[in-house]
Amino acid sequence: MGNLSSCFTGSSNTTHDEDVLPDETFTASSSGISGTTTSGKVLFSETSSSGNSGYSFGDNPSFGETIKLGPSGEILERPNLRVFSLAELKSATRNFKPETVLGEGGFGKVYKGWIDEKVAVPSKSGSKLAVAIKKLNSESMQGFEEWQSEVNFLGRLSHPNLVKLLGYCLEDKELLLVYEYLPKGSLENHLFKRISSMEPLSWERRMSIALGVAKGLAFLHCSERQVIYRDFKAANILLDANYDAKLSDFGLAKLGPSGGNSHVTTRIMGTYGYAAPEYVATGHLYVNSDVYGFGVVLLEMLAGLRALDMNRPSGQQNLVDWAKPYLSSKRRLRTIIDPRLEGQYSLKVAFELAQLTEKCLVSNPKARPCMREVVEVLQKIETIEDKQKENTTNSKRSTSANSERSGYHRRFPYHRNGILSQSQ
């Protein structure tokens, strides 16, 4: 993620909300670690290094009571997280050895570690559970804000297409988060890193990933106080062992507008190439600003190219600017589809996806589809593909049966009345 800009002006019909939290400081004392706003309001306190969460929330985002959203999604009133000690996490990563590093970003590093499985799943014991441990930069206020945003949001949100946050650590001014480990890594790596041991993602798998993360975003957007993800990109989509997709990194997440407002006004942060144009230009953040980022990732999956790549020829460096005109023509669409997908899709389905991508990328946020509509379109595309597969299978069976019958008669040309003649 990166700070796109810090200069913007407010306007009417906005909710002014500089960030999820006001300016805050945290101090260590003999009784634990506490955080306060500049006005002196307690944000949280922690008095234990292990066990259940010791959080006391102050001016943090409130979703109200626990809300169940269908069979797969839930928003908790408060985080239900384990508090890890720094010693536990040092042990889990062998003191944060370099060889345990999974990735690195502006926030810090992510390490692979192993914890007792009975800690994460009380019904199990005697084995180790792989986890991902994010160690944020404790020297910057941005690192602290992102750490607390992850706890506030991801600690309360439960959905199959969101990475599960297991716990956190705030000790000796160290900021750490503990997540479930997703062995297949990021969508970014699978799309763009040409590694010999890594098979290119098939068309079917890309469509499954798109539908999964669309469901995750729809879940965030459908609560009474909508959650704006704000940093939707291929690097933040992680894949489990079955290539099921999950959104990760909620460091920039914000509550959506309230009181009849259409958007919130906030510091402009995110990633070049994915951030919606209205947000970059004005600092106005709409729920549908996430939809634009989703459209960019759809285009990346379709073309197999990064949103921004300065190594491409002039005029093609910004993928949206270059490829968007190709989305409205079946004939031109073929020229931008990832050549590694050759023979895996029908043009009808590819064009359906291109049209959806184009709608997500329109300049006016109010004209973009909501994520529930996006999910419906992707499910429709999935149904079309299933029918095409069924028709292909039936056609092959029919051809095979006809071929067998034809071959039988060619071998025995004097077949009469069910009796095989031996004559020539």
128 and 205 both lie in a single domain: no
Same domain, 155 and 210: no
Least confident of 246-250, 303-307, 385-389: 385-389
Q: Is pLDDT larger for residue 292 or for residue 266?
A: 292
Same structural domain for residues 211 and 234?
Answer: yes
Residue 142: CB atoms within 10 A of its CB come to 18
Q: Is residue 424 part of a domain?
A: no
CB 276 within 8 A of CB 365: yes
Kindly write down the DSSP assignment for every residue of 80-143, as one continuous string.
--EE--HHHHHHHTTTT-GGGEEEEETTEEEEEEEEEHHHHSTT--SSEEEEEEEEE-TTSHHH
The pLDDT assigned to 413 comes to: 43
Other CB atoms within a 10 A radius of the CB of residue 187 amount to 25
Residue 344 pLDDT level (bands cut at 50, 70, 90): very high
What does the pLDDT average to over 253-278?
A: 89
Domain endpoint, select from 119, 154, 180: 180
**Percentage of residues of the chain with pLDDT beyond 70:** 74
DSSP string, 330-393: HHHHTTTS-GGGTTSS-HHHHHHHHHHHHHHT-S-GGGSPPHHHHHHHHHHHHHHHHHHHHHHH
Give, as one character, the DSSP assignment of residue 28. E
Question: pLDDT at residue 291 above 50?
Answer: yes
Residue 139: pLDDT over 90: no
CATH number (domain holding residue 271): 1.10.510.10
Examine the pLDDT at 40 and tell me if it is beyond 60. no
What are 7-34's pLDDT values in tens digits?
A: 323 333 444 443 332 233 333 333 333 4
Q: Which of 242-268 are b and which e, b meaning 16 or more Cβ less than 10 Å from the residue's Cβ?
A: ebebbbbbbbbbbbbbeeeeebbbbbb
Structural domain span for residue 291: 185-383
The set of catalytic residues is 231
Name the pLDDT band for 41 (thresholds 50, 70, 90): very low
Binding-site entries for ATP? 135
165 and 189 co-located in one domain: no
Quote the pLDDT of residue 119: 59
pLDDT winner (highest mean) among 21-35, 113-127, 179-193: 179-193
Assigned domain for 395 exists: no
In a domain, 400, yes or no: no
Give the span between the Cα atoms of 18 and 268, in whole angstroms.
Answer: 10
263 and 361, same domain (yes or no): yes
pLDDT at 171 over 50: yes
Q: Are residues 60 and 45 in the same domain?
A: yes
Contact partners, residue 36, CB within 8 Å, separation at least 6: 24, 25, 26, 27, 42, 43
Query: Has residue 37 got a pLDDT over 90?
Result: no
Q: In angstroms, rounded to a whole number, what is the distance separating the alpha carbons of residues 216 and 238?
A: 12
Cβ 258 vs Cβ 197: under 8 Å: no
End-to-end CA distance of the chain: 80
Read off the tokens for 339: 């050549």
Residue 412 in any domain: the answer is: no
Residue 16 pLDDT: 41
Same domain membership, residue 23 and residue 153: yes
Residue 118: band (very low, low, confident or very high) from pLDDT cuts 50, 70, 90: low
Q: Is residue 401 part of a domain?
A: no
Same domain, 191 and 234: yes
* 343 shares a domain with 232: yes
Convert the pLDDT of each residue in 352-362 to its tens digit: 999 999 999 99
Average model confidence (pLDDT) across the chain: 80
163 and 199 inside one domain: no
The answer to whether residue 331 scores a pLDDT higher than 60 is: yes
Band of residue 105 on the pLDDT scale cut at 50, 70, 90: confident
Domain assignment present for residue 391? The answer is no
CATH of the domain at 123: 3.30.200.20
Listed residue (264, 265, 269) closest to 249, CA to CA: 269
Same domain, 378 and 236: yes
Both 66 and 120 in one domain: the answer is: yes
Type of residue numbered 236: N
**Mean pLDDT calculated for residue range 226-251:** 95
Distance CA 398, CA 89 (A): 60
Q: Cα–Cα distance between 187 and 245 in angstroms, integer?
A: 8
For residues 171 and 89, the answer to whether their CB atoms sit within 8 Å is no
Structurally, the chain folds into a number of domains equal to 2
Instruction: Give the C-alpha separation, 128 to 114, whole Å.
Output: 6
Domain boundary among 156, 180, 204: 180
Binding residues: 135
Would you state the pLDDT for residue 66? 53
Q: What number is the average pLDDT over the span 98-124?
A: 80
Q: Which of 132, 160, 180 lies at the terminal end of a domain, its last residue? A: 180
Does 36 map to a domain? Answer: yes
Instruction: Give domain status of residue 4, yes or no.
Output: no
pLDDT band at 397 (very low <50, low <70, confident <90, very high): low
Maximal C-alpha separation, the chain: 106
Q: β-strands 419-420, 284-285: how paired?
A: unpaired
